[in-house]
Every structure is written in structure tokens, then in C-alpha cells.
């Protein structure tokens, strides 16, 4: 057993599926409804079926350790600018903000990096993923690549998601986080590593979407606004968990 | 207790508030009225309620150690060019001029970095803050991020300041320094770390402003020109201390 | 004997020729017919005359060690972007994605880097090859340079291939991988290191092509689509092996 | 006592003033009248009141050690291109050519870096000065910043020189080298470190200029062409020494 | 004695002159008449008066050690792109391809770097030469700077060559390699280090040219095409040696 294998097993310990809440949005949007106090929200979700949380490096220190004693920490470890103005976001290339040593010191069970393709800097995107994979794997920490298209209108196209996931896995990612697409089995069948769902189409029945992608090979969920802006977040977690792990 | 926690406690030791004078302006403006001799000015303020001073790295060596034996040193540790001509200032992205080792060797209790958002290089701004947080935290030195908008006309807009403060905290800042805005409680309520006031609106009653922001959750003051160009600096320090710590 | 000499001898142990299958395409194209599951394909080719495989770093971990216990691993160690859009490929300059330490940790017997000339960044191409040669040679790992022209229409011109191969060898490459050209002996006679064939002209009788270039000094084959999209891949491997090693 | 304090004391050992000859011009101009052989010129000035010489790194090795056994070596440690064509000089930003270790190995008592402000890269200028100050101070070697304006017509304006000197000192410079300006006391009174004169206005009585700036607080001279193209260099050194140290 | 002094003495051991053949052209031109097999050519010149050879890093490993047991190895250690297309050569700035450790491991007695001035990146050229001088001198390996003008039509102008040679020496070069110019004594008299001739004017009597520059202070020859494309290379070496060392 390697440390990487041990951590991968930990992530998928509950029936081979991973269910995390993504609370990393403020690094790009700033203040957000539902995320006024991330520490309080995390603490309130202690007794749910959530396996853990995606958090930015600066937020980890403010979480009560007891709120996460049986949860996994997925460190959001890349940035791409902000949404404060049109020019202040880099839609082509995101970069790491956390060394593997920092992730280890924060107790991260995995680290998440945006992997933007289809733009003008795909080579840099590949180089950065390769670099962080090497760096993180030396400390036994799994790397999750979130596949994004530089052209946001293509983030639900099957061919892009399937190719993007495969490219990330060829470079070295251990887990893929990707948005919904129609033929999700094309993504999972062409990818040697587990794929988790980043989010569903707007206005869809989200639990039905989860059941569909799970039947097509998805191994987990990483939902953000769907959860932290839900009217009944705990109820939704229950429903999603049932859909995921049935 | 970690070194970082110890230093944070030191900064806010006086009734949980921090009151420092910012004398770092010459790095960008050159000579300034009131700051002909920073060492003399610092020495003259020894017996005031000021907790300490913000100084550039090159000035620290010229200060008499006895003038600061009970004061904190906040190292101004970033630059963005100068105001000598229009082109000689980089309004989008400031960078560190001081390694954490240098800060430690100078006896810094904290280090201050400009955090400029809303411009064309927000990603670089985030990367630099993440980098210095990692570097400084390894030596237990708190990082203060001063939230600035690339568009100076927006430096008193509540939404920008609240989002900028939150973004800096998500990246890793330990303290936020921000300018006055109307709904200051929106800044402090959405931010997991202490916020100190960088300055008030022109022509306002500055002590009234301090009382207002303190009532809305501000934890300190870091004033510059207001202080070093005041007619009665010691009297003003007394008034501000009273407004801050009541 | 040095480690580099030992590994070079290993690569050409079978009658002085090297025959590898190139399965590294998904890093640039994403999903591909014939490469849905690289681990399964590699395993299925265990009992062929193939000496080994060209694989991307992220794929190596998914291969069953028993499938390659007598095969060589050539690590594809450079990237140049993707083919997802016109702008997302850098046709002038490819860069390393794998440190020599990573290659060693993956058990690589050699590493393959694209060497693009005739474009706008030939100097950078030379600098990168020189850098990786120094880095890899310190760990005794041979470097294969794949000679490409920034103008794809020139990839079968004798003068370009002969000059590109020579330039790569002068910089430090241990083996050259190059496409077919008419006067292949001009390539091999001007090059101090072994040259292996990257692929033949479309619609040609590929075994005849192999016989021709071998007669003109080629020392091996590294075929991709010809193999993994073949109707009878094992039969083709047999034919190519016969043509190569007669 | 620190090594830096010891070396500063050495530089100003003769009546608190420093008088060096600047022979570093060939790095930018190439061959020059008066500097055909720097080693011979340095040797010929052994018995003068000059405290030492400003030399480029490559020239130090050609100097006879006996010619400088009681002289200080100020290493010219930055470059900005050449004057060979209009485009070959970078008027906005100069960079270090000498590590502090190299300076130490050459026996340097101080190192001189151009500090160009008022152009398009003031931030880079500040970053480079901060970096070399940190690097050189670790080895106890004083840093001299030569204040220059990107717009050469402004190199004798009081406000610029006073602000440039102060900015350099705030960053970390130990000594300022600056050109003549009318209100030189404004420079010295606003600067916490010694200021030495880089050169006077053309066609002026240079000894009168020296007397004037010394009366206004200047602590030394660093003259180049005035000296090495003088008809009677030794006589001029005598006169300048008298004007400086009276 | 330092290692650098020892190696300098070795280079000029034969009557104070250095005579090397430059076989480094293929790094920029690819295949060339006369250089089909550099190892064979080097071996064939064993019994001539040549002191050694200029070779690229990748070629050194292919030379029979016995062919060079009494020859010096000058490592060509910089690149500037290729001549494959107009855009693929960087006429303004060349960079190092060999660390000093690599040069030492290859047994280099000196290393040769192109030093291009008069273009748009003279500062970078200076920075790179300074960097490699520091790096190579730490291992005691002399640095040869080949003075080139970004404008090739100026490579035989006295003023340029004299200034370029002086600038390289001021930065740290131990030997200058320069093309022929009319007043060659102006080059040698203004330069503190030995100057060797890189090549003569086309269609000139090359031995007469050598006699002329030697009489004007040149200390050696480094000829390329003149030698390897000569009809009687051994005869030419004899003549040149006689012209050089009389």
C-alpha cells in the first residue's frame, strides 16, 4: 500500500462513492448567499452523509477540528482570478496556490485543481497539472482535476468532457470532476480513473440527474450552490446520498 | 499555541484592537510632508497609545530600538512602482519585496501586502498572496492583506470591499486592512479574520468614522497621512484610541 | 559501463533494433478509437514481438506490472497543448512534463520529447532538449527526440528530417524518432545516434516502408495509429517485426 | 558590530567621506578614451587620496592586488544593455549581474546598482533592489543605489533626486549615489543614509560644485569621465579631495 | 594557482597561442558538407598542430577518447535557434545550453558562448554572460565569448568588435573570439584578455590574414568552414599553424 492508495481508499470508503460539498466559491466571487460563515455551515453539516468539504487554504484554519473529525478535506488548490470585472478572470489557465507541503500541513486528503482546455493556453494547463501531480504524489496526496472548457458554453458537451477527462488522466490526475453531459458513460468508459459529478444542468431534477450519471459510471458528487443555497440543505444531502449510494 | 497564534494575540493585546501608524508611503511617493525623518517621528510617538508602526524594510535599520521596545513592527512588504509618472505605477498587481526570513531578521510582528483586485491581473494577485502566506506562516508571521481596487474610484464601495476582504481571507490572509465603506458590517460579517480600517472618507470627522466602523465590527486602525500630517498628532492619537477602545 | 549505456543496450537488445508501440496520443487528442482502455490493450500485446510501449506519465500507474515485465517503458514526457481548438495547440514549442526523478520512479527505460524546429521558437526547443538531456543523463535515462517541423507539411522532407535529427543529436539526444522521407539514408548517415521511424506515408504498404528504411540505416519503429487502429494488430506486429529484424 | 556596519565604517573612514573613481563605463560604452587599460590606470593612482574604485566584475581579476591594498573595491553589479544602438539600452530597468557570493569572492567592499525610476518598470526596479539588498546584506556587503531617471533630462531635478534617493533608502540601500541638483540639502535631509555625488553639471567648476554639495550634506564623490579623461588626473584628485574633506 | 589559471595556461601552452577547429555549426545549420561524421573528422586530425576542437555537448560522447588525448575540448555551450526558416533564429540573444557541471563532466577545457550586441536584447546578453561566468568560474572553467553583432553586416567593423570585446571582458569573459576587422590592434589594445580570430573576410588569403592579426596582437584561431570544407585540411592546418606561431 502506498500513501496515495490509502488516501484514495479513504475518499471512496463509503460504498465506493465520494460525496463532498464544494464551499470554495468565495475565492472567485467574494461574498455569496449561503456562505456568510463557512465554519458555521461546515459545523452544521457534521451529522449528514456528506463525506467532506472542498475548502480554500485560508478557510481551513477557521474550521473547528471537531466539525471535521470524520470528514475528508479536499483542498481547493488553484486560482484563476476573480469575477469582479470582465478582465479580472483568466478563463484559459488556472494555477496552483498551494504547495503539497502546505496541503499536507493543512491535513488535506486530496487537492482540487481546475483544468481548463479548449482555450489559448492548453499547454500551460497541462504543464501545471503535471507539475502538481508530481509534487502532490511525492507526499501521497491524490489530485482531482476539474475539467473546464475555456468556452463556458461547451461545459456540457460529451465529446469535450470525455476528451478533457482522458487528457487529465493521461497527465496524472487521480480523480476527475466534470459537469453533466448527455452520454456520461462515454466519459467514464474512456477514463482510467474515477469521475465525480461537478454539477447538473440548470432546472433539472438534481436527484434524477445523479441517478442517471451513477448508472453510467460516475463515482461521486461535488456540489456547491445546489447545496449551500438550498432551502433544506440537510434534506437535499439525504436525497443525493440515496441517489448516489442507493 | 503556535507562533502565528502568539503573534496574532500580541497584535490585538490591548482590548482586542490594533492601532498602528502607517509610515510606509515614501516607497511610492518619495519625500512627503511630515515624514522627513521617520526615525525621529517614531521616537516622538513612544509614549502614545499607538501599538506600533508600518515601516518599509529599508527604514527599520534606522530606528532606535528603544523607540520601539513596546511597539509592534508591521513590515510593509510589497511594492507596486512609484507615482513619479503615470506609467511608473502598476495599479493591477503588487509584489513582495521581503522574504519571510528578512521579515523575521528585522523583528517583524506582521507583514503587510497590497492585494489589488478588479484589474487585469487578479490571478497574479491571488498567487502572490498565497505564496507569501505559505512563506510567512512557516515562520509564524501574520500576513495583513490591504484590499485595493485597481479602479481607485471603487475603494469605498461596500460590495467590493466585502468581496475583496473575503477573497483575501480565503487565500490565507490573517488580517484585512480596508478602506471605509458605508455598510462596514457587511465586510466584517462575511470575513473570518479581523478587519482594520485603512482610512476614512476625506473631510469626514475621523473619530466619528472610527466609532462607526468599530460598532460595525472593525478591530483596528492603520492610519497614515491623517496622522503624520496632523497638526497635533499626539492629540489625534489620543482621540482615535478613545474612539477605537472606548 | 554507465547506466545510460546499460539502458541503451537494453532498448536495442533484440538484434540491435527497437520496436515500440506509441499509445501516447490521448494527451493531445483525448479519446481515440482503439485506445479506449490502454491498460487492456497493453496487456493484450504481452506475447508479441513488441519491445515496449510509449505511455504518458498518468497512464503508467494503471498498467498491470505483469503486462510489462519484459517490456520497455518509453515515457512520453513532453506536451504541446491539445487539438481541441485551433488555438489550443502550440505548434512551435513543446515542453517537458516529467522530471527525470519522476521518470525513474515510474520505471522508465527512456523518455520521449517532441523536438519542433522550423517555427518561431527553435531556440526554446533547443534549450528544453539540452535541459532535459542534462537532467535525464544524470539518472542514466536515454532521451529520444521526436523531430517535427512547425509546418506539418514538411514532416516528410528529407533535408528537414536529416537536419533536425542532426541538430537534436548535437544538443544531446540519444535516439531520434523521425517520420519517413525519401532519402532516409541521408538522415542516418549524418546522425551519430540511432534513428527510429515514427510513421510512414499514408496509403503506403507499411511493411515495405519499414524494409526500405531499415535498409537505409533505421534502427527501429515507433508506430501509433497504424497499430492501435489496425484490424489485426497482432498480425501487423508480426509482419513489422519481420520487416524490421528479418 | 555587524559586518555591514564594519564595511560602512571602512568606506567612510577618512573624515567621514568617501571618494571613489568610477571606471565602470566600458560595460555600456565599450572602448573609451582614458580607459584603454584600467589596470594601468588603477595602478597609477595608488598614491592619491582616492579611497577606491568602481569596477566591473570582469575587470577585477586583471588588477594587481598591490595596486589596491589600501583601496576599497566598489563592484559595479548591474547592467542595462549597451549604447551600441538606440534599441540596445534598457532605459527603464537595470538588473544585477553579480551574486553577493561573487562580490564577496572578488573582495568587494560595496556593490553599486543602478536604480532607474520614472519609467515604465519602476516596480521591477524596486523588486530588484529589494532582492539584492537582502542577498548582499546576508554577506554584510553595503549596497549603493545610483538614482537615475528613465528620462535623462530629469537627472538634475531636485524633486526627482530627493524622492528617488528616499525610495531607494526605504527599500534598503545603504548609500545613495546621485547627480547634482540645485537644492541638494533637500536630498540629504530627507534621506536616512549617506548620499554621494555622481557627477556635476557640464561646464561647471567641479571643485566648487563639490564644496557646495558637501556644505549641503553630501558625504562623498564618485566621479568617472571627469577623472579618467582629465588632463591632470592626480591634480584633480588632490583638488577634489580638498573640496570634499577640506 | 587556481583551476582557472591552470586551464588558461593549458589552452595557450604552445607558444602562447591557441589554435582550435570549430565543428559546432550543425547545431544551427543541421547537416553540412564536410561534417557528415564529426567523430571521424576529429580522429583524422589527431596528428596535426590543432590544439583542439569546438564541439556541441551532444557530440562529445561520440568522440573516441584516444582521438583527443592531447587535444583541448572547447564546449560550444550556447544556442540561438536554427537557420531552418527566417523566424527560427534569434539574432539578438543566445542562451546557455550547458551547466558548468555538465561541461566539467564532459571534460571541457573551456566553454564558448555567443555574445550578441547591437540588437534589442543587449541587457539579456550581458546578464547571461555574467551568469555563466560566475557558474563556470566556480568550477575553474574559462569562458570564451564570441562577439557578434545583431546586424550581421557589422561583424567586421573595428569599432564594434573593439567595443564588443571590451564589454565581454568587463562582464567576465576570459577569452574573446571575434571576426576580422581592419584595425585589429584597436581590439587587442583595449581588451584585458586574449583575443582569438573567428574567421577572416571571404576570398582573402587566409594565412596572410592570420599573419596580420597576429602581428596586431591576436592570440589564436578558431576556424570552422575554412577548415572542414577545405580540399586539403591537413595542409591548411600546417600553413595556419606556421602563420600563427611562426
ipTM of the complex: 0.97
Q: Which of B121, B152, B170 to mutate to test the interface with A (most CBs of A within 10 A)?
A: B170
Q: pLDDT for B23-74, tens place per residue?
A: 999 999 999 999 999 999 999 999 999 999 999 999 999 999 999 999 999 9
Name which of A193-202, C61-70, E161-170, E221-230 the model is least confident about.
Answer: A193-202
Nearest to C172 among E31, E57, E87 (CB): E57
Tell me which DSSP letter residue C19 carries. E
For chains C and B, tell me whether 3 or more CB atom pairs sit within 8 A of each other: no
Nearest to A134 among C39, C62, C99 (CB): C99
Give the chain D residue nearest E159 (alpha carbons).
Answer: D31
Give the chain A residue nearest B162 (alpha carbons).
Answer: A31
Q: Is the pLDDT of residue A201 over 90?
A: no
Quote the strand ranges of chain E, DSSP E.
18-22, 52-55, 72-76, 78-79, 95-96, 110-117, 143-149, 175-179, 195-199, 220-223
Compute the distance between CA of residue B67 and CA of residue B228 in angstroms, rounded to an integer. Answer: 17
Residue pair C10/C141 in contact (Cβ under 8 Å)? The answer is: no
Q: Which chains reach chain C with 3 or more Cβ–Cβ distances below 8 angstroms?
A: A, E
Nearest to C172 among E28, E58, E82 (CB): E58
Contacts of B90 in chain D (CB under 8 A): 122-123
Residues written for chain C: 246
- Three-class SS of residue B136? helix
Q: pLDDT for C173-202, tens place per residue?
A: 999 999 999 999 999 999 999 999 998 777
Give the chain C residue nearest A4 (alpha carbons).
Answer: C61
Cβ distance A26 to B160 less than 8 Å, yes or no, reads: no
Q: Which residues contact E215 (CB under 8 A, 6 or more apart)?
A: none
Compute the distance between CA of residue E73 and CA of residue E142 in angstroms, rounded to an integer. Answer: 11
- Per-residue HEC secondary structure of A88-147 comes to HECCCCCEECCCHHHHHHCCCCEEEEEEEECCCCHHHHHHHHHHHHHHHHHCCCCEEEEE
Residue pair D240/D206 in contact (Cβ under 8 Å)? The answer is: yes
- Three-class SS of residue A217? coil
Contacts of B126 in chain A (CB under 8 A): 27, 79, 81-82, 97
> Residue C6: what pLDDT?
97
Cell numbers linked to D216: 549641503
Residues written for chain A: 246
Confidence of residue B237 (pLDDT cuts 50, 70, 90): very high
Q: Is the pLDDT of residue B204 over 90?
A: no
Q: Which of B5, B121, B128, B130 to mutate to test the interface with A (most CBs of A within 10 A)?
A: B130
Contacts of D121 in chain B (CB under 8 A): 81, 88
Confidence of residue C204 (pLDDT cuts 50, 70, 90): confident
Cβ distance D166 to B26 less than 8 Å, yes or no, reads: yes
DSSP C123-166: HHHHHHHHHHHHHHHHTT--EEEEEEESSGGGTT-HHHHHHHHH
Interfacial residues of A (vs B; Cβ cutoff 8 Å): 24, 26-31, 36-39, 56-59, 62, 79-82, 84-85, 87-90, 94-95, 97-99, 102
Confidence of residue E203 (pLDDT cuts 50, 70, 90): confident
Q: pLDDT for D25-45, tens place per residue?
A: 999 999 999 999 999 999 999
Q: Is the pLDDT of residue C203 over 90?
A: no
Cβ distance B38 to D163 less than 8 Å, yes or no, reads: no
> Residue B199: what pLDDT?
84
> Residue C202: what pLDDT?
76
For chains D and E, tell me whether 3 or more CB atom pairs sit within 8 A of each other: yes
Compute the distance between CA of residue E79 and CA of residue D115 in angstroms, rounded to an integer. Answer: 31
Give the chain D residue nearest B35 (alpha carbons).
Answer: D190
If you average pLDDT over residues A166-183, what whole number do you get?
Answer: 97
Q: Which of E172, E225, E198 is CA-nearest to residue E35? A: E225
Contacts of C134 in chain E (CB under 8 A): 98-99, 102
Confidence of residue A65 (pLDDT cuts 50, 70, 90): very high
Q: Which of A113, A134, A166 to mutate to test the interface with C (most CBs of C within 10 A)?
A: A166
In the A/B pair of chains, how many CB contacts fall below 8 A? 96
If you average pLDDT over residues C85-109, what whole number do you get?
Answer: 97
Q: pLDDT for C209-245, tens place per residue?
A: 999 999 999 999 999 999 999 999 999 999 999 999 9
Tell me which DSSP letter residue B78 carries. E
For chains B and E, tell me whether 3 or more CB atom pairs sit within 8 A of each other: no
Cβ distance D171 to B27 less than 8 Å, yes or no, reads: yes
> Residue B200: what pLDDT?
75
Compute the distance between CA of residue E199 and CA of residue E194 in angstroms, rounded to an integer. Answer: 16
Q: Beta partners for D79?
A: D95
Cβ distance C88 to A119 less than 8 Å, yes or no, reads: yes
Q: What is the pLDDT along chain D (246 residues), one digit of tens a residue?
A: 999 999 999 999 999 999 999 999 999 999 999 999 999 999 999 999 999 999 999 999 999 999 999 999 999 999 999 999 999 999 999 999 999 999 999 999 999 999 999 999 999 999 999 999 999 999 999 999 999 999 999 999 999 999 999 999 999 999 999 999 999 999 999 999 999 999 877 788 999 999 999 999 999 999 999 999 999 999 999 999 999 998
Cβ distance A133 to C98 less than 8 Å, yes or no, reads: no
Name which of A200-204, D145-149, E38-42 the model is least confident about.
Answer: A200-204
Contacts of C190 in chain E (CB under 8 A): 31, 36
Compute the CA torsion angle C155, C161, C164, C169 (nearest 10 deg). 130
Q: Is the pLDDT of residue C148 over 90?
A: yes
Compute the distance between CA of residue A196 and CA of residue A54 in angstroms, rounded to an integer. Answer: 13
> Residue D221: what pLDDT?
97
Å between E29 CA and nearest CA of chain D: 27
Cβ distance A169 to C94 less than 8 Å, yes or no, reads: no
Cα dist from A104 to C99, D89, E62, whole Å: 22, 47, 46
Mean of the per-residue pLDDT values of chain C: 97
Q: pLDDT for C159-180, tens place per residue?
A: 999 999 999 999 999 999 999 9
- Per-residue HEC secondary structure of chain D comes to CCHHHHHHHHHCCECCEEEEEECCCHHHHCCCCCCCCHHHHHHHCCCCCCCEEEECHHHHCCCCHHHHCCCEEEEECEECECCCCHHHECCCCCEECCCHHHHHHCCCCEEEEEEEECCCCHHHHHHHHHHHHHHHHHCCCCEEEEEEECCHHHCCCHHHHHHHHHHHHHHCCCEEEEECCCCHHHHHHCCCCCEEEEECCCCCCHHHHHHHHHHCCCCEEEECHHHHCCCCHHHHHHHHHHHHHC
Cβ distance D126 to B27 less than 8 Å, yes or no, reads: yes
Confidence of residue E202 (pLDDT cuts 50, 70, 90): confident
Confidence of residue A50 (pLDDT cuts 50, 70, 90): very high
Q: Which of A216, A203, A206, A217 is CA-nearest to residue A243? A: A206
Give the chain E residue nearest C123 (alpha carbons).
Answer: E81
If you average pLDDT over residues B205-218, what whole number do you get?
Answer: 97
Helix or strand (DSSP H, E) at A213: helix A206-215
> Residue D191: what pLDDT?
98
Cβ distance E90 to C123 less than 8 Å, yes or no, reads: yes
Percent over 90 (pLDDT), chain B = 96
> Residue D201: what pLDDT?
78
Relative orientation angle of helices B206-215 and B233-245, to the nearest 10 degrees: 20
For chains A and D, tell me whether 3 or more CB atom pairs sit within 8 A of each other: no
Å between B224 CA and nearest CA of chain D: 16
Q: Beta partners for A76?
A: A112
If you average pLDDT over residues A139-163, what whole number do you get?
Answer: 97
| CA terminus-to-terminus distance, chain E | 29
Nearest to B27 among D120, D170, D192 (CB): D170
Q: Is the pLDDT of residue A152 over 90?
A: yes
Q: Which chains reach chain B with 3 or more Cβ–Cβ distances below 8 angstroms?
A: A, D
Cβ distance E98 to C189 less than 8 Å, yes or no, reads: no
Quote the strand ranges of chain B, DSSP E.
18-22, 52-55, 72-76, 78-79, 95-96, 110-117, 143-149, 175-179, 195-199, 220-223
Give the chain B residue nearest D159 (alpha carbons).
Answer: B31
Cβ distance C26 to A117 less than 8 Å, yes or no, reads: no
Cβ distance A88 to B169 less than 8 Å, yes or no, reads: no
Q: Which of B120, B80, B83, B109 is CA-nearest to residue B97? A: B80
Q: pLDDT for A90-108, tens place per residue?
A: 999 999 999 999 999 999 9
pTM for this prediction: 0.97
Å between E102 CA and nearest CA of chain C: 7
Confidence of residue A169 (pLDDT cuts 50, 70, 90): very high
Q: pLDDT for E170-186, tens place per residue?
A: 999 999 999 999 999 99
Compute the distance between CA of residue B112 and CA of residue B78 in angstroms, rounded to an integer. Answer: 7
For chains C and D, tell me whether 3 or more CB atom pairs sit within 8 A of each other: no
Q: Beta partners for D54?
A: D22, D74
Mean of the per-residue pLDDT values of chain B: 97
Percent over 90 (pLDDT), chain A = 97
On the 0-12 / 13-18 / 19+ scale of CB atoms within 10 A, D40 is middle
Confidence of residue C111 (pLDDT cuts 50, 70, 90): very high
> Residue D204: what pLDDT?
85
Q: Beta partners for B107?
A: none
Cβ distance D126 to B88 less than 8 Å, yes or no, reads: no
Cell numbers linked to A18: 465520494
On the 0-12 / 13-18 / 19+ scale of CB atoms within 10 A, C138 is middle
Amino acid at each position: 500500500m502506498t500513501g496515495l492508495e490509502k488516501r484514495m481508499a479513504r475518499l471512496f470508503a463509503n460504498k465506493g462513492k465520494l460525496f463532498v460539498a464544494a464551499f470554495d466559491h468565495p475565492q472567485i466571487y467574494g461574498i455569496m448567499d449561503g456562505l456568510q460563515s463557512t465554519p458555521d455551515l461546515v459545523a452544521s453539516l457534521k451529522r449528514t452523509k456528506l463525506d467532506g468539504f472542498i475548502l480554500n487554504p485560508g478557510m481551513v484554519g477557521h474550521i473547528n477540528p471537531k466539525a471535521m473529525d470524520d470528514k475528508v478535506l479536499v483542498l481547493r488548490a488553484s486560482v484563476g482570478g476573480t469575477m469582479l470585472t470582465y478582465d479580472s478572470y483568466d478563463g484559459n489557465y488556472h494555477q496552483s496556490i498551494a504547495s503539497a507541503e502546505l496541503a499536507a500541513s493543512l491535513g488535506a486528503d486530496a487537492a482540487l485543481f481546475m483544468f481548463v482546455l479548449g482555450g489559448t493556453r492548453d499547454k500551460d494547463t497541462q504543464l501545471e497539472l503535471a507539475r502538481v501531480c508530481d509534487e502532490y504524489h511525492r507526499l501521497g496526496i491524490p489530485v482531482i482535476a476539474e475539467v473546464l472548457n475555456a468556452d463556458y458554453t461547451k461545459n456540457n458537451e460529451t465529446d469535450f468532457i470525455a476528451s478533457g477527462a482522458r487528457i487529465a488522466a493521461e497527465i496524472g490526475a487521480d480523480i476527475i470532476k466534470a459537469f453533466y453531459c448527455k452520454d456520461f458513460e462515454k466519459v467514464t468508459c474512456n477514463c482510467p480513473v474515477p469521475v465525480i459529478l461537478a454539477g447538473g444542468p440548470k432546472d433539472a431534477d438534481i436527484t434524477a440527474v445523479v441517478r442517471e450519471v451513477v448508472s453510467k459510471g460516475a463515482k461521486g458528487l461535488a456540489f456547491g450552490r445546489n447545496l449551500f443555497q438550498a432551502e433544506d440543505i440537510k434534506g437535499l444531502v439525504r436525497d443525493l446520498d440515496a441517489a448516489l449510494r442507493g
